[in-house]
Structures are given as C-alpha cells and as structure tokens.
Amino acid sequence: MTGPPVDPGSDWHRLHPLSPLIRAGRGAVGLLVVFVVSFSGTSSDPWNAVGHLAALVVVGGLGFVSWLVTRWRIEGGALRIETGLIRRSSLRYPLAQIQAVDTVRPGLARLFGLSELRLRMGGSTAGSARLAYLTGMHAERLRDELLALASAAPAQESPAGATVPEPAWVHTRTLVSVPTPQLVASIALSGIGAIAIGLLVALGTTAAVAPHAARGVLSGGVVPLLGLVTGIWRRFNGDYGLSVAEAPDGLRLQSGLVETSAEVIPRGRVQAVRMVEPLLWRPLGWARLELDVAGHQQRKRENRSEGRQLRAVLPVGSRDQALALLDRIVPGAPLPGAPPPRRARLKSPLRFRHLAFARTDDCVVGCGGRLARITSWVPLAKVQSLRWSQGPLQRRLRLGDVFVDTAGRSVGAAVRDRDEVESRFELERLTELARAARRR
C-alpha cells in the first residue's frame, strides 16, 4: 500500500486508508459529534442502538469503498490517477506540464502525520492533480521524484528499474525567512489590517460611550466581521514561518501555522514577478514580492487568500531583501528607470509618480500603481502576447500604453503613458526581443 520507495512504471499504489476520513475533514468531526449526542441521549432501546451502529457501518463502508477504488501510479512520463466506483474516471497528468508541486497538511492530517500532494498543471492540462493523503515521508519522496522526472526526461517512457534520483533536499540554500513580529506588523499595516483595526477602535469607543448601540452593531455586523477575521487569519497562516530555499529542482517554499504547505516551483516556470510596496509600508521601507506561475488554482480549502492574489515568496521584507531575492529568481532583472513624459501627469495624476520602465535583452520591467507602488518583471522568454492601446485622452496627449501578457494569473507588465512614438517602438522592440528570447 504505502511506505516502500516509489518505482516509476511500477504497480498501482493506494492512498493512506485514513484518507476518506481526513478528506471529510471538519464534516466528519461534526457528524461524529451529532452521532455521539444522538446515541447517548436516547433510551436503552436495543433497536435504537442497532440503528446507530448500522449507520456507522454504512458510513464507514462508503469511506472504505472510496479508499479501495482510488489508485495511482507513474507511467510513461505521466501520473495516472484512477478513482470512482460506478463511474470510473482515469486522469492523466503529463509530468512535463507540471508548474509547481505543493504538499499541504491541514490540521487534521498533521495529527496523523499525513500530507496531501498537489500538482499544479499548466499548458493544455487544466486543473491540478491531488493525492490526498499520503504519509509525510512518502509524499516528500514522491514530490522530489516527480520533479526530477519532470525536468529530466519529459516525454520518454521511464525505463523499468530506473534508479530513484538522490533526494534534492540535501542541496538547499535558504534565501529568506520572515520573523513573526514583522509579519504581524505588516498585516496590521496592510489594507485589510487597517480596516480591521479601524473597526475594532470604532466598536470599542461605541461600547464605552453607548453599550446598547454597540451590542446592536455587533449582532448585526457579525458576518462581515467574521469574514474579515477569516481573511486576516488565512493570510497570517499562509505566510507564517515562510522560508524560501533554492534547490536544484527549483524554489522551495514552506509556510503555515495550523495548515502547513510546502511548495516547489521548478525552474523556468516563473511567468512574472511582482513587487508591491503599499502606501503604509513605504515609511518603513518594506516590500512584498510575489510570483506568478501558470496553472489553474483550486480555491477550496487552501491556506491562501481568495481571489487573484499571487504566491507571496516574500510576504514582507526590506526592499533590498526583495531585490536580492528577485535576482535569484530572475537573474539580471533590471530596475525601472526612465520616467514618462511630463504630460502623462494630466492623464494619470495618481500614478504618475510611480510610472517607470526598463528593459534588457532578457527581461522587461514596468512600474506603476496608484496608492501602492507595483513593479512587475516579465522574463521575455515567457511573453505570450503584446498589446498596445491608446484611449481618447491619450490620443490628445500623444501617449500610448504597452501591455506584456503572460500565462500567469495576473496581467503582466504594463508600460503606461509613454510618448506615442516611443511606445510603438517599444512594442516592436519587445516583440523582437521576445522572439529571440524564445529561441534561446
């Protein structure tokens, strides 16, 4: 079942027997509580007991069957997962299209020493492969092996009896780790944190001055408050104890307080890098660095915030730290330099002080943002398409925008409000450089 080292092209493997229980997660715990309460609170009627026992057996049986029919193995350069009893589904995930591999350990799984392996796929395979749950050691070994196979022989049949590559974790080099007090302060100073603090202060003063009104507000505003608290918790949990290490197979990120997750981003899968310097962080000189990786993201039960947030590879750090980390991820990335012409201030008054742009043969960087300063780097080899646009006001002012699109979830680099002629020239130049970078 589980345990022995994984051989490529070998027999089918099963997940850990406790997987259905843990997949049910909080639902299982809730059901158990209901069950115990109903069982203990009834008369000593034997049929009642039999009924409860039957229900337990049925639920347990369903879980057992679900575990029994799910199996997986590595064959022919792809991971194959088969599941389902009545309607069998066989899913195939080509290893060459792996964008990132995560190991996620929700609280319940950690109790039993299990973890879930998630492969984020890109290219024509949408979605992600999930192996929930395997024992911790097994999951890590499988992850290393999948990554090694993905980078080594993308489209070949794995020869039977191939030696398992040496575990990559011995060669890691830690780049970054975030101290917790800094993380807490950064969240407090961020948008959501400021709102939460403001609300708390308002509630506090209302409670002091008019307790009845405060109670009314509290009872009415419980749901948004809960949403706010959940958002803050998710962000804190997702970034707690984050450590970034550089390994031969890519960038390794580990974080999490209750639900831990370890992610490996293979080399060459980074589509864009973004540095965000929010308004409230500027006096402290802090910045956040985010990575954009292609591939569909499952939103359910992830310890990262909802929406379009990218993977924060440095949730908070000094600007120098961020730039040093950037240099490891995208070597030779330029810093934005040339500001736009003065007349751009008429069109984008708030953005104007942040707008800047630079490019080398390998990378283009665009800087902008209204309140926060947002700098986006796009390696030219990753450019998907380019767009030029000019609104009516820009036409009067002879300005133009150039947008560089990537396969990641964010838009990419935006070079806004340059002189019209310059922007068209840049469009051409970037197209040529992207073509050359693709060929290299």
Whole-number Å distance between alpha carbons of 282 and 438: 36
* Residue 153 makes contact with another protein by CB under 8 A: no
- Judged by CB under 8 A, the stretch of 132-140, 241-249, 369-377, 427-435 that binds another protein is 427-435
Q: How far is the CB of 272 from another protein (least distance, A)?
A: 10
Measure the N-to-C terminal CA separation of the chain; round to a whole number of Å: 44
Secondary structure of residue 333 in the 3-state scheme: coil
| Residue of the chain from 39, 388, 398, 419 that contacts another protein (CB under 8 A) | 388
* Residue 309 makes contact with another protein by CB under 8 A: no
Which one, 218 or 421, has the nearer CB to another protein? 421
Which one, 99 or 190, has the nearer CB to another protein? 99
Span 162-191, contacts to another protein by CB under 8 A: none
Q: 393 and 347 in contact (C-beta within 8 Å)? A: yes
C-alpha radius of gyration, the chain, whole number: 26
* Residue 35 makes contact with another protein by CB under 8 A: no
Q: How far is the CB of 388 from another protein (least distance, A)?
A: 4
* Residue 270 makes contact with another protein by CB under 8 A: no
Q: Return the structure tokens found at 250.
A: 């890519």
* Residue 391 makes contact with another protein by CB under 8 A: yes
Span 70-109, contacts to another protein by CB under 8 A: 96-97, 99
Question: Strands (DSSP E) along 178-332, which ranges?
Answer: 243-247, 250-255, 260-265, 270-277, 286-293, 311-318
| Residue of the chain from 405, 417, 422, 426 that contacts another protein (CB under 8 A) | 405
| CA angle 346–347–349, rounded 5-degree value | 70
Q: How far is the CB of 30 from another protein (least distance, A)?
A: 38
* Residue 435 makes contact with another protein by CB under 8 A: yes
Q: 4 and 135 in contact (C-beta within 8 Å)? A: no
Span 284-303, contacts to another protein by CB under 8 A: 294
Q: How far is the CB of 409 from another protein (least distance, A)?
A: 8
Span 326-385, contacts to another protein by CB under 8 A: 381, 383-385
Nearest to 100 by CA among 251, 243, 241, 244: 251
Whole-number Å distance between alpha carbons of 126 and 407: 13
* Residue 32 makes contact with another protein by CB under 8 A: no
* Residue 125 makes contact with another protein by CB under 8 A: no
Question: Could you tell me whether strands 250-255 and 356-359 are parallel, antiparallel, or unpaired per DSSP bridges?
Answer: unpaired
Q: Return the structure tokens found at 67.
A: 């575990």
Cα separation values, 1 from 13, 19, 21, 73, 79, Å: 6, 13, 17, 12, 17
Which one, 295 or 336, has the nearer CB to another protein? 295
Cα separation values, 61 from 29, 247, 425, Å: 17, 43, 67
| Residue of the chain from 392, 413, 418, 426 that contacts another protein (CB under 8 A) | 392
* Residue 150 makes contact with another protein by CB under 8 A: no
For 95, phi and psi rounded to 5 degrees? Answer: -65, -25
Residues forming the site for another protein (CB under 8 A): 96-97, 99, 122-124, 269, 294, 381, 383-392, 395, 403, 405-407, 409, 411-412, 424, 427-428, 431, 434-435, 438
